[in-house]
Amino acid sequence: MSFELETAIAPEKLHRVAIDPISRVEGHGKVTILLDDDNHVQQVRLHIVEFRGFEKFIQGRPYWEVPVMVQRLCGICPVSHHLAASKALDMMLGVKQLTPTAEKIRRLMHYGQILQSHALHFFHLASPDLLFGFGSDVAARNIAGIIATHPAIAKKGVLLRKFGQEVIRMTAGKRVHGTGSIPGGVNKSLAPDERAELLKDIYQMVAWSRDAVGMIRQLFEQNLAEYNEFGRFRSAAMCLVRADGAMDLYHGGLRARGIEGKTLFDHFDYARYWDVIGEDVKSWSYMKFPFFKSLGPDDGSYRVGPLTRVTQCDSIPTPLAEKAREEFMAFDGGRVAGATLGYHWARMIEMLHAAETIKDLLHDDDIIGNDLMATGQRQQRGVGVIEAPRGTLIHHYRIDENDLVIRANLIVSTTHNNQAMNTAVREVAKKYLNGREITEGLLNHIEIAIRAFDPCLSCATHALGQMPLEVAIVGADGTAIDAATRDQHGLIHEIRETP
Amino acid sequence: MKTSKSEVSVQANAREARVKADRPAETKANNIFQLDGEDVPFTPGQTIMQAATANGTYIPHLCWHPDFSAHGSCKLCTVKVNGHFGSSCTIEAQPGMEVENRTMELDDKRRTLLQMLFVEGNHFCPSCEKSGNCTLQATAYELNMMSPHFDMFYPDRPVDASHPDILLDFNRCIMCALCVAASRDVDGKNIFAMGGRGLLGRRVHISSESGKLADTDFAATDRAASICPVGVILPKRKGFAIPIGQRTYDLAPISRQVKKATP
């Protein structure tokens, strides 16, 4: 069975519009839209065109190399892969509890990553759509336009990200692709001067993160009807929560709720994630479609990421972020909690939580301790799960008696959101494209729905809204009906009339 | 096949003689040659490489090690002696020699040799635990090697993880043969041997019927276990224990660590 608008009945008679590549997201993907003669949408698909292959080529490598190698999946959130792999290998080594210093250094690294990634997404990638308007002048709809017209906002975005990167550098050794987390612990703690340097700026980061929450709230207030309804759909949800139900982005048990809010499983031990999550395959995408086994592949898709985490946790364990969460959940009678663009708001609440958590950790003397490694009884298998900036990230490895990896399975955040993103773009296509002439501004609505999820379509590559784009509408007989090209500066150059 | 104790003793004496030859205190006033215009003292019997190293002057090299007799195979230490090319690790220093070392001409050729080494093996520095402690990587940085330049060979070189304490990752082997020398001359075990023909056929073999390290008497305490200048012979389960910033070549480039840069 396929979902509404996933597969048209007679695609050969339809016009095809492609958004390829999708811009201002990490990685490469494309959207294809099939329209009938009256420009009514018949089929919409988000295709992920990258092929990852890490699960295969990690086989035969020594396990201690894995946390450093797999983080090369991504240049934006490598720390997530670094830590998820480390957690899996902690389990493989039988380490049930890290030393206090190791756990807090890893948490510091992770929340630094949440801070920098969320700042990057909101300020650099998403804010041009939100501040200038969805169909605004494409030439200015980018970070350069934000710098020109809203320099104070742009500066905060750049410096928040820089701070997060510094936290990562001091804990992992490098801003991108460090080596700090190793199976069983960490290879360094913070030096007192590093701690002092971060403490100097952290209060400003908390304040700016709070401002960012205020900014997205204001945008919702100004555009309530459009933001609430844009790409809106109902979905099941999954995230990690702490033992007391509070938000914890580093460790916890799995919580899942269905469309009606019914709990499907709670505090589930992720070491046996395959008991509750299956992975479906579709012929038109390289990305798998995970689903809850209890609901089956047709009804079991779900959302992960900031919106899920903020709405499904019982509380956030830092005061400012918790207050922001309560306001978010109460806003407009709670309707924003189900809006696709609510992801942006939830993401800023998490950024505030990350800043507050970093502040608390910096005041904890364990982060300058020297007890870095723990040991345990060796196992053959390990599973590590973490809440990455984009959602739940699962790493699963089996190791042979010679210390080599013999099997690996990675379910990355964006993969969980695959069906949800497809649903969101179909909702937007139905509402905004149906029966209308295709323009760059209308196509941007599709991209805005995708960007809300902050997808990492492949890893280590990302486009910043300046990638060339060609859109063509081809008639059922193969003749070109309409075509437009967008150059590397974001300008539309050529529109051909119907021959 | 093992080396007898008497052979080991002879080899140890030879090493002692070489170490003795490193002492500049015994240098006579006229035993001086010119290296890139700088006076370098030597004692008779020292090679150009030995004298330069004792003087703290860096000549790029990979297969030479102060504890072992020169192999002369990597050719990275090629210098110009009175206008003629030669390996500085095998040419004995002579009074009045004029030796060119870090010239653009020689470094260009060295960079090309490095590029060939990089494409002949599978060197993925980003995920290699030897990164930051690797002589090949440090030499490539020293010589400003910015790309492999040539097409990669991607040879199929399986990992030998059979030994409980040591991993062998031949993907990174540069055929320097230091493990061969260390196992033969110091450990007296002859566990490693060069064999095979051709660019892709020639490789380090393990002296056991199965060809696996587990079936030898190799030990993590052997000299051969710590001699590898690249990431082939590695202690297991150590990985990335040394943080970035504290690795050998994080502290200073290889050319500024002449006396301590050998593993």
Kindly tell me if the per-residue pLDDT of A489 is higher than 60: no
Give the pLDDT of residue A52.
67
| Sign of the C-alpha dihedral computed for residues A335, A336, A340 and A343 taken in this order | negative
CB atoms within 10 A of CB A147: 14
Question: Pick the residue with more confidence: B86 or A425?
Answer: B86
In this prediction, residues A290-312 reach a mean pLDDT of 94
Give the residue ranges of DSSP H helices in A223-275. Answer: 224-229
| Sign of the C-alpha dihedral computed for residues A123, A129, A133 and A138 taken in this order | positive
CB pairs under 8 A between A and B: 57
Beta-carbon contacts of residue B146 (< 8 Å; ≥ 6 apart): none
In this prediction, residues A42-52 reach a mean pLDDT of 75
Closest CA in chain B for residue A177: B126
On whether the CB atoms of residues A390 and A413 are closer than 8 A, the answer is yes
| Residue A394 φ/ψ, nearest 5 degrees | -115, 125
Which one of B159, B240, B245 has the shortest CB-CB distance to A68? B240
User: What confidence tier does A239 reach under pLDDT thresholds 50, 70, 90?
Assistant: very high
Give the pLDDT of residue A319.
98
The CA distance from B229 to A427, in Å, is: 59
Q: Which of B94, B131, B130, B232 is nearest to B176 (CA)?
A: B232
Closest-CA distance, B236 to chain A, in angstroms, reads 8
In this prediction, residues A244-249 reach a mean pLDDT of 98
Q: Count H helices and E strands in chain A, helices first.
A: 16, 17
The CA distance from A468 to A484, in Å, is: 11
Burial of A9 (0-12, 13-18, 19+ CB in 10 A): exposed
Q: Could A187 and B245 be called an inter-chain contact, meaning their C-beta atoms sit closer than 8 Å?
A: no
**What does chain A come to in residues?**
499
Give DSSP secondary structure letters for A380-423.
SEEEEEEEETTEEEEEEEEE-TTSBEEEEEEE-HHHHTHHHHHH
Task: Please name the residue that has the structure tokens 């859109």.
Answer: A471
Which CATH entry fits the domain spanning B114-256: 3.40.50.300, 3.30.1280.10, 3.10.290.10, 3.30.70.20? Answer: 3.30.70.20
User: What confidence tier does A161 reach under pLDDT thresholds 50, 70, 90?
Assistant: very high
On whether the CB atoms of residues A345 and A311 are closer than 8 A, the answer is no
A383 in contact with B, Cβ within 8 Å: no
Q: Could A173 and B159 be called an inter-chain contact, meaning their C-beta atoms sit closer than 8 Å?
A: no
On whether the CB atoms of residues B64 and B53 are closer than 8 A, the answer is no
Kindly tell me if the per-residue pLDDT of A341 is higher than 80: yes
| A403: chain B residues, CB-CB within 8 Å | 161, 167, 236-237
What residue type is assigned to position A355 of the chain?
A: A
Domains of chain A and CATH, by start: 11-49+418-496 (no CATH), 97-232+354-371 (1.10.645.10)
Q: Could A65 and B238 be called an inter-chain contact, meaning their C-beta atoms sit closer than 8 Å?
A: no
> What does pLDDT average to in each consecutive run of 10 residues of chain B (263 residues)?
46 50 56 97 96 96 95 95 97 97 98 97 94 98 96 92 98 96 97 88 93 97 97 97 96 88 51
The CA distance from B186 to A36, in Å, is: 80
Task: Please name the residue that has the structure tokens 């050794």.
Answer: A173
Mutate: best of B131, B237, B251, partner A, most A CBs <10 A: B237
Q: Could B126 and A402 be called an inter-chain contact, meaning their C-beta atoms sit closer than 8 Å?
A: no
Q: Could A402 and B237 be called an inter-chain contact, meaning their C-beta atoms sit closer than 8 Å?
A: no
User: Tokens standing for A73?
Assistant: 């999946």
Q: Which of A205, A198, A177 is nearest to A119 (CA)?
A: A205
In this prediction, residues A346-366 reach a mean pLDDT of 98
Give the residue ranges of DSSP H helices in A93-191. Answer: 100-119, 127-132, 143-149, 151-172
Least confident of A259-263, A468-472, B31-35: A468-472
pLDDT digits (tens, 9 = 90+) for A52-94: 678 888 999 999 999 999 998 877 789 999 999 999 999 999 9
Mutate: best of A181, A378, A402, A404, partner B, most B CBs <10 A: A402
The CA distance from A16 to A36, in Å, is: 9
- % of chain A at pLDDT higher than 90: 59
The ipTM value here is: 0.86
Q: Which of B222, B142, B128, B228 is nearest to B179 (CA)?
A: B228
Give the residue ranges of DSSP H helices in A429-482. Answer: 440-452
Angle, helices A100-119/A342-362, rounded to nearest 10 degrees: 140
In chain B, CATH 3.10.20.740 sits at 5-105
Give the pLDDT of residue B177.
95
- pLDDT averaged over chain A? 87
Kindly tell me if the per-residue pLDDT of A267 is higher than 50: yes
In this prediction, residues A237-257 reach a mean pLDDT of 98
Which one of B127, B167, B237 has the shortest CB-CB distance to A72? B127
Give the pLDDT of residue A95.
98
Give the pLDDT of residue B28.
57
In chain B, CATH 3.30.70.20 sits at 114-256
| A89: chain B residues, CB-CB within 8 Å | none
Q: Which of A431, A432, A427 is nearest to A450 (CA)?
A: A427
Question: Pick the residue with more confidence: A202 or A418?
Answer: A202
Give the residue ranges of DSSP H helices in A223-295. Answer: 224-229
Least confident of A100-104, A365-369, A491-495: A491-495
Question: Pick the residue with more confidence: A475 or B175?
Answer: B175
A178 in contact with B, Cβ within 8 Å: yes
| Residue B178 φ/ψ, nearest 5 degrees | -65, -35
Give the pLDDT of residue B190.
96
Angle, helices A192-222/A151-172, rounded to nearest 10 degrees: 140
| A184: chain B residues, CB-CB within 8 Å | none
Closest-CA distance, A383 to chain B, in angstroms, reads 19
In this prediction, residues A411-432 reach a mean pLDDT of 86
Kindly tell me if the per-residue pLDDT of A166 is higher than 90: yes
A57 in contact with B, Cβ within 8 Å: no
CB atoms within 10 A of CB A28: 18
User: Tokens standing for A203?
Assistant: 């209060």
Kindly tell me if the per-residue pLDDT of A498 is higher than 50: no
On whether the CB atoms of residues B66 and B99 are closer than 8 A, the answer is no
Give the pLDDT of residue A25.
65
On the CB side of A331, CA atoms within 13 Å amount to 26
- Report the Cα A342 to chain-centroid distance in Å: 14
pLDDT digits (tens, 9 = 90+) for A201-232: 999 999 999 999 999 999 999 999 999 998 88
The CA distance from B254 to B110, in Å, is: 15
What residue type is assigned to position A493 of the chain?
A: H
Q: Count H helices and E strands in chain B, helices first.
A: 6, 10
Element (H, E) at B9: helix B5-21
Closest-CA distance, B164 to chain A, in angstroms, reads 7
On whether the CB atoms of residues B165 and B260 are closer than 8 A, the answer is no
Q: Which of A134, A132, A162, A138 is nearest to A150 (CA)?
A: A132
Catalogue the long-range contacts made by A216-224 (C-beta closer than 8 Å, 24 or more residues apart). A216/A122, A216/A130, A216/A344, A216/A345, A216/A348, A217/A327, A217/A328, A217/A331, A217/A345, A219/A130, A219/A131, A220/A331, A220/A332, A220/A336, A220/A341, A220/A345, A224/A332
Mutate: best of B156, B244, B251, partner A, most A CBs <10 A: B244
The CA distance from B61 to A340, in Å, is: 60
The CA distance from B59 to B52, in Å, is: 7
Give the pLDDT of residue A441.
82
CATH number given to B5-105: 3.10.20.740
Give the pLDDT of residue A460.
23
Give DSSP secondary structure letters for A66-99.
HHHHHGGG-SSSHHHHHHHHHHHHHHHTT--S--
Kindly tell me if the per-residue pLDDT of A496 is higher than 80: no
In this prediction, residues A392-411 reach a mean pLDDT of 94
Give the pLDDT of residue A383.
98
Give the pLDDT of residue B261.
47
CB atoms within 10 A of CB A101: 23
Question: Pick the residue with more confidence: A343 or A45?
Answer: A343
Closest-CA distance, B151 to chain A, in angstroms, reads 21
Beta-carbon contacts of residue A471 (< 8 Å; ≥ 6 apart): A17, A18, A19, A438, A440, A443, A483, A484, A485, A486
